[in-house]
Amino acid sequence: MEIVILDDAEAIGKLAADQVCGLLARKPDAVLGLATGSSPLATYDELARRCAAGEVSFGRARAFTLDEYVGLPEDHPERYRNVIDRELTGRVDLDPSRVAGPDGLAEDVPAACAAYERAIADAGGVDLQILGIGTDGHIGFNEPGSSLASRTRIQTLTRQTRLDNARFFDGDLDAVPTHCLTQGLATIMAARHVVLVATGSGKAQAVHQLAEGPVSAMWPASVLQHHPHVSVLVDEAAAGRLQLAGYYRETYLAKPAWQGL
């Protein structure tokens, strides 16, 4: 796991966008894993800008989103399928038919989750997964207590996550769904490269546990310590509790340019 401490969200967005663009240059039909929420917005803005400038094409790429609220109507602005269209896929040259997400309106939930796992596998697996992290250490919506071997399934959101996300629902906690479908921790672990982005002091404890705590279902993101290729891009505030922050800074500064992330 590599921790990169950068000045601000814009610098994080640029470095994350570099990873996506580098991948698409090497492999135009790459499979991207996309997170929603506020953390990746700077990355998506940068990718939209580069696509508009003709610097990158998503024309042959495919994308899978991480998670979806259960029960939000198709036209709800906070349905993650609509969020990702608004924030990224609708702003780049990616055909909507090449973007998939878990079906939060499925009547047969286990069948829909199994179908989603199959769709990801049939696409050849995710090449690059963009992740955020919850204040409680969730990735996707794998809340504390999630099996480290979990696959796509229904989850109950913690009160903390619903409080955190109430800002997307006009501050109305009751409007935040109680359930979601989410890729499991094992699903996320199967991605070939994971780029996790986090900003702000609210994420500092989760980032510390992710990188420096014991691997534990109590801090689900800590499972990424077992992944061979994880890049964690954080600002100073999100790095605020890292015990080895000085070492991470030195390592990144001394890194040969050819190495990339």
- Residue ranges that bind ligand F6R, judged by CB under 6 A: 35-39, 66-67, 132-134, 138-141
Nearest distance in Å: CB 182, ligand F6R: 7
Q: Which residue lies nearer to ligand F6R by CB, 38 or 57?
A: 38
Kindly list the distances between the CA atom of residue 77 and the CA atoms of 70, 72, 86, 192, 230, in Å, as whole numbers in the listed order.
14, 9, 9, 31, 31
- Residue nearest ligand F6R (C-beta atom): 132
Catalytic residue, from 45, 68, 127, 138: name it.
138
Does the annotation mark 7 as catalytic? no
Residue 57 or 158 with smaller CB distance to ligand F6R: 158
164 in active site = no
Residues 71, 179 contacting (CB under 8 angstroms) = yes
| Residue 68 known to be catalytic | no
Give the bridge partners for 233, in sequence order: 4, 197
Active-site residue, 67 included: yes
Phi (first) and psi of residue 76, to 5 degrees: -70, 130
Q: Measured from the CB of residue 75, what is the shortest distance to ligand F6R in angstroms? A: 19
- Spatial strand order of the sheet with 230-235 comes to 2-6, 230-235, 193-198, 128-131, 31-34, 62-65, 99-100
Query: CB-based contacts of 205: which residues, under 8 Å, 6+ apart?
Result: 135, 241
Cβ of residue 36: shortest distance to ligand F6R, in angstroms? 4
Residue identified by tokens 């080895």 is 244
In terms of CB distance, is 134 or 177 closer to ligand F6R?
Answer: 134
In whole angstroms, the minimum distance from the beta carbon of 67 to ligand F6R comes to 5
Helix axes 41-52 and 9-26, enclosed angle (nearest 10): 50
Which residue lies nearer to ligand F6R by CB, 53 or 170? 170
Q: What are the catalytic residues?
A: 67, 136, 138, 143
